[in-house]
Structure 1
């Protein structure tokens, strides 16, 4: 038995999309196997999507299973891929995405997808981080970070040049630091001189650097504005996989905008060869 999938990516952040009606007995095991870039299809996660077309705009229930088999409550680029997938199937340019972090609206304009990212928080209990007060530019496990939750936790550090940082060396101690009861993503940023930032992110659940991270891009913009490092709107953020724009509405909520591409379709076997 095989299960069909569609492969999408948003600025290099790539996902296998499987309809939630497809039977997969162990979603975590399938993600571990098929997200592997040497022995599987290769991806930053698997999105299980349930489409509810009776609503206007249509709704999509999104569950993200990461390469380590865990689930994540939110993924900015993943949600934009889910939106594109749903728009392609409903002939619309607007959808609502139900995530574990809340329901978010997505719109497609001129070939790019914008998704609401909710209200970011610095509250220690909501990040979460073991601290009495919000953490701004404090050294934690060797990196000077600001802690924010943009759907998932991020430790954001500003550096002179992201390309000069050995992220695979400096990120894991922070990602697994005792200060973080649920772990954290680790995002570094360097200013471009025009109010924007270059980005690199080591993602929790992927346990490696990814080509792009939407929640990380939003985290950079939110923290930079809070610390007075930029007053741009939108804030241009440039991960290795492409360009993203982060904007803010009157309520302080962020939106994330960028391209999405449908790469190819295929099939995977839900059970491992040993189980067949």
Structure 2
């Protein structure tokens, strides 16, 4: 058996700097984990060969586009439905599959809106079906109801984890599509995220691991955010599920009251979050097309 290489068309999108390779699921990619590991690599992965990627200021980019990506979105468009449906599978740089990604889902909605002309879409994810609304370059998506229940996070124990010490951080655990350990600190910019996050991400209390989110409350009631993402195994410029987790945890701890939108700002730009007392949370922010190219896919032949 030999291994041949074929090339497939892909697109690149980002949501506040959280960047994704987008692949139409009709394209044949026999080994999706290997594809993601190869092309998401920050040193040797996908690059904009034309040099005209629309990263914009909201991507937090003040230089040339980065190589690689935070994940690959395999999208299957089912346009016969009304509103159109998109089946989204996110394969992360380590080859694992994430149940939900807020910024990825917004990019999926933007991709599908371009192809269908519809400003309302349904995004099917392993965490459930989410309704998305597209308004120009801005996308709002339902994120489901955050859960602190040990079974949902999940946790190793049978008690909720609220303001508990885990590997030196005081964290609150919440699932907003994927598990998060949220720690409120005085200033996220002063924190050594790469040092403090990995022990929490791999702590025994999180049997499936967790994203680690640091947040600090600003004078105007908004929050600054930094996230160490499970599957990326490093800091990302933005994390949509993490931004929702910040507001959900803040409400749980009494730092936020009511159902009004709250601004959460990761390094890549501003996101607007609502976590109502009853019903689904929402995530709103920009989703931007960057460029199109072709990438190699390994295909086995006899």
Measured against the shorter chain, the TM-score band is: over 0.9
Shift of 1:40: 0.8
* Matched residue count: 274
Distance 1:192 1:249 in 2: 21
Distance 1:185 1:153 in 2: 6
Give the one of 65, 89, 94 matched to 1:68: 94
Aligned counterpart, 1:4? 9
Gap runs ≥5 in structure 2? 1-5, 47-67
**What is the root-mean-square deviation in Å for CA atoms of aligned residues?**
1.4
Give the one of 29, 33, 39 matched to 2:38: 33
Distance 1:222 1:92 in 2: 30
Question: Given the two structures, how large is their TM-score scaled by the length of structure 1?
Answer: 0.97
Give the one of 194, 201, 206 matched to 2:227: 201
Q: Runs in 1 of length 4+ with deviation above 4 angstroms?
A: none
128-137 vs 77-86, which moves further: 128-137
Distance 2:257 2:207 in 1: 32
Shift of 1:226: 1.2
Shift of 1:249: 4.3
Distance 2:132 2:201 in 1: 29
3-state SS of 1:81 partner: helix
Indicate whether 1:14 and 2:40 are aligned. Answer: no
Indicate whether 1:48 and 2:53 are aligned. Answer: no
Aligned counterpart, 2:289? 262
Aligned counterpart, 2:238? 212
Distance 1:136 1:130 in 2: 14
3-state SS of 2:144 partner: coil
Distance 1:43 1:8 in 2: 9
Distance 2:74 2:278 in 1: 31
Contact 1:11 1:212 in 2 (8 A): yes
Aligned counterpart, 1:246? 273
Give the one of 204, 225, 241 matched to 1:178: 204
Contact 2:132 2:140 in 1 (8 A): yes
Give the one of 86, 94, 104 matched to 1:78: 104
Distance 1:81 1:184 in 2: 23
Distance 1:17 1:115 in 2: 18
Contact 2:107 2:287 in 1 (8 A): yes
Distance 1:257 1:125 in 2: 28
Shift of 1:28: 0.2
Contact 2:145 2:280 in 1 (8 A): yes
Aligned counterpart, 1:236? 263
Shift of 1:90: 0.2
Distance 1:139 1:253 in 2: 29
Question: Given the two structures, how large is their TM-score scaled by the length of structure 2?
Answer: 0.88
263-272 vs 77-86, which moves further: 263-272
191-200 vs 214-223, which moves further: 191-200
Aligned counterpart, 1:148? 174
Shift of 1:130: 1.4
Contact 2:244 2:275 in 1 (8 A): no
Contact 1:195 1:231 in 2 (8 A): no
Alignment deviations for residues 130-171 of structure 1 (CA, whole Å, 9 cap, x no partner): 122111100011111000000000000000000110000000
Contact 2:33 2:95 in 1 (8 A): yes
